[in-house]
Amino acid sequence: MSPNPTVPSPIVQSPRVRWTVRIVGVTAAVAVAFTVWLGLWVTPPDQTQGDLVRLVYLHPGVAWVALYLAFGLAAAASILYLWPRTRSLFWDRLAAAAVEVGVVFNVCTLISGSIWGRPTWGVWWAWDARLTSTAVLLVLFLGYLALRRVPAEPEVRARRSAFVALFAAVDVPIVHFSVLWWKTLHQGATVLNPNLSPTIHGSMAWTLLLGFVALTLVFVWMLLVRYRIGFLEDWLGSSELDVALLERRAEGMA
Amino acid sequence: MAHATHRLRYAVVGLVLVGSFAFLLFKGLGTALNFYLPADQAVQQKASLGGKTFNLEGVVEPGSIHATPNGVDFVVTSGATKLPVVNSGSPPELFRPDIPVIAVGHFDGGTFVSNQILVKHSSNYIAQHPARVTAPNGSKQ
């Protein structure tokens, strides 16, 4: 009597995909370990900041993942959901997974920045445009996640969420350009500055780059795992509904 | 019943989110988006600023730093403007000559009286070993 809804999921079940996820995870862990080693032991201290400079291998990479990869992907996936020709719940699920990972990285951005700010600036927090707009970003995407918890038909929820994601993503360029548009305590961009000439060099620059790659891999791994969980949650939800329907039907016949 | 508690929960979550968004927006706009006023502009606007507390920015003049019983005195430069700052309390670890700092305080006659210094470090990262590395601008550091 037990219904057996099949999982229509080459993405979720195929051993090849599961192995890919594992390999991405292991590569990410190795890249992070290598960054830690270069960042803490190999690279020299900075002229002004001394050993405090070592946070540069972590903090900008974490922010890069949150702002551009996670929230950027969420915005792109939301557009693809809203576009009638590409509309599919795949994009909705992908956007949700990206935002959830992005929120984690956004929190880590604020925490690592605060830890860097205390010994360098002298304060844990300042209400400058960069810090404030980053905090606003977190609140906006927490709103997105809260909205997804409101019970609704999957299509209704997907449409609502896509609009909110696009609205929230407007803050991403504001965060990025805040250090140019306003006078901020936060320093300007080291790599993606207006002249596109990185003001960091040698082993420090390479470690910074490796940090970006390592955190990007961590993001990809977390995204894949979260997508899979989201998919299985949806499938479980619909199979539970099937069970409930069959039970009610059986009651009707008895 | 369960429905009513759910609704209440959504209302509370919504309120908290909207409230914190509004609070952040207010704080952000409250400091007028610009976190500081460069010392040259501050001196120009001295009459309108009066005794108001604001964030003043300037580069610490080399040789001007003197420790005082309750803090530190120094001069900040900003363009052609030089402005003496009297700070009570000890400045952060990275405070030194020739770096941009932000002093939180107000004008008192010809000096700026502050009670907090923030070090506004740059986005340039240069290795510490002298003569071994070249700075991004080409000079030996």
Query: In the predicted model, is pLDDT for residue B38 greater than 90?
Result: yes
Q: CB-based contact (8 Å) between B23 and chain A?
A: no
The complex scores an ipTM of: 0.76
CB atoms within 10 A of CB B37: 21
Are B68 and B91 members of one domain? yes
CB atoms within 10 A of CB A114: 14
Are B50 and B93 members of one domain? yes
Residue B125 within a domain: no
**Cβ neighbours of B141 in A, within 8 Å:** 47
Task: Confirm if A238 and A41 have CB atoms less than 8 A apart.
Answer: no
Radius of gyration of the CA atoms of chain A, in A: 22
Are B48 and B23 members of one domain? no
Q: CB-based contact (8 Å) between A126 and chain B?
A: yes
Are B112 and B43 members of one domain? yes
CATH of the domain at B41: 2.40.50.140
Residue B131 within a domain: no
SS3 label, residue A164: helix
A103-153 pLDDT, tens digit per residue, is: 999 999 999 999 999 999 999 999 888 999 999 999 999 999 999 999 899
Instruction: Locate the domains of chain A by residue range.
Output: 15-237
The position carrying tokens 């290598």 is A34
pLDDT for A4: 47
Of B57, B118, B127, the CB nearest to A46: B127
pLDDT for B141: 41
Are B46 and B113 members of one domain? yes
| Non-local CB neighbours of A154 within 8 Å, separated by 6+ positions | A89, A92, A234
pLDDT for B29: 63
B92-112 pLDDT, tens digit per residue, is: 888 989 899 999 999 998 899
Q: What is the DSSP track for A96-110?
A: HHHHHHHHHHHHHHH
Residue B138 within a domain: no
A216-227 pLDDT, tens digit per residue, is: 999 999 999 999
A139/B17 touch (CB, cutoff 8 Å), yes or no: yes
Query: In the predicted model, is pLDDT for residue B113 greater than 90?
Result: yes
pLDDT for B22: 76
Query: In the predicted model, is pLDDT for residue B82 greater than 90?
Result: yes
Query: Which of the residue ranges A204-208, B19-23, B115-119 would you say has the lowest mean pLDDT?
Result: B19-23
Are B47 and B24 members of one domain? no
A190/B92 touch (CB, cutoff 8 Å), yes or no: no
For residue B28, the enclosing domain spans 1-33
pLDDT for A2: 44
Q: CB-based contact (8 Å) between A114 and chain B?
A: no
Q: Cα distance from A8 to chain B (closest Cα, Å)?
A: 32
Residue B103 within a domain: yes
Of B35, B57, B141, the CB nearest to A129: B35
Are B114 and B69 members of one domain? yes
pLDDT for B32: 59
Are B73 and B114 members of one domain? yes
Return the closest-CA partner of residue A209 out of A192, A226, A186, A231: A192
Are B48 and B91 members of one domain? yes
Predicted confidence band at A11 (pLDDT cuts at 50, 70, 90)? low
> What fold, for A15-237?
Four Helix Bundle (Hemerythrin (Met), subunit A) (1.20.120)
Residue with the bigger pLDDT between A132 and B20: it is A132
pLDDT for B115: 94
Of A48, A56, A200, the CB nearest to B99: A48
Residue B128 within a domain: no
Looking at the DSSP bridge assignments, the partners of residue B77 are B59, B82
Q: CB-based contact (8 Å) between B58 and chain A?
A: no
pLDDT for B140: 46
How large is the average pLDDT for residues A87-98? 95
pLDDT for B5: 76
Are B41 and B5 members of one domain? no
Are B106 and B75 members of one domain? yes
Q: Which pTM value belongs to this model?
A: 0.84
SS3 label, residue B37: strand
| Non-local CB neighbours of A38 within 8 Å, separated by 6+ positions | A57, A203, A206, A207, A210
Residue B68 within a domain: yes
Are B29 and B44 members of one domain? no
pLDDT for A10: 53
Residue with the bigger pLDDT between B11 and A162: it is A162
